[in-house]
């Protein structure tokens, strides 16, 4: 517990909600890039559709995993405020 307080005072911890928000911002940028990939890669409509379908599958898989992980991180009790340790 002392170690945790030391890391907190040193700015090496962050609230889980803040970490999730950061990840959501990065995922949004990634999603935007993937969604436009077909159009940027080719003018061939069949190939573009194939690229877009694969990108959509990837995004769906990531969304499912993110939802599952988010549910696992949700505090069971309102008094619990989980924090993530930042890498040194």
Query: β-pairing, 13-15 with 83-85?
Result: antiparallel
Q: What is the pLDDT of residue 23?
A: 86
80 band by pLDDT with thresholds 50, 70 and 90? low
Digit-coded pLDDT (tens) for 14-73: 787 888 899 889 989 999 999 889 999 999 999 999 999 999 999 999 889 988 988 887
Eight-class DSSP state of 1: -
Q: Please, are residues 34 and 51 in contact by the beta-carbon 8 Å criterion?
A: no
* Residue 9 pLDDT: 74
pLDDT at 77: 65
Start-to-end Cα distance in the chain: 19
pTM confidence score: 0.59
Residue 36 φ/ψ, nearest 5 degrees: -100, 5
């Amino acid at each position: 517990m002392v170690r945790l307080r030391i890391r907190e005072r040193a700015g090496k911890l962050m609230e889980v909600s803040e970490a999730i928000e950061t990840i959501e911002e990065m995922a949004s940028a990634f999603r935007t890039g993937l969604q436009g990939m077909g159009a940027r890669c080719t003018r061939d409509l069949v190939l573009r559709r194939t690229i877009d379908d694969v990108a959509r599958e990837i995004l769906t898989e990531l969304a499912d995993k993110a939802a599952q992980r988010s549910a696992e991180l949700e505090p069971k009790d309102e008094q619990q405020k989980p924090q993530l340790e930042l890498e040194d």
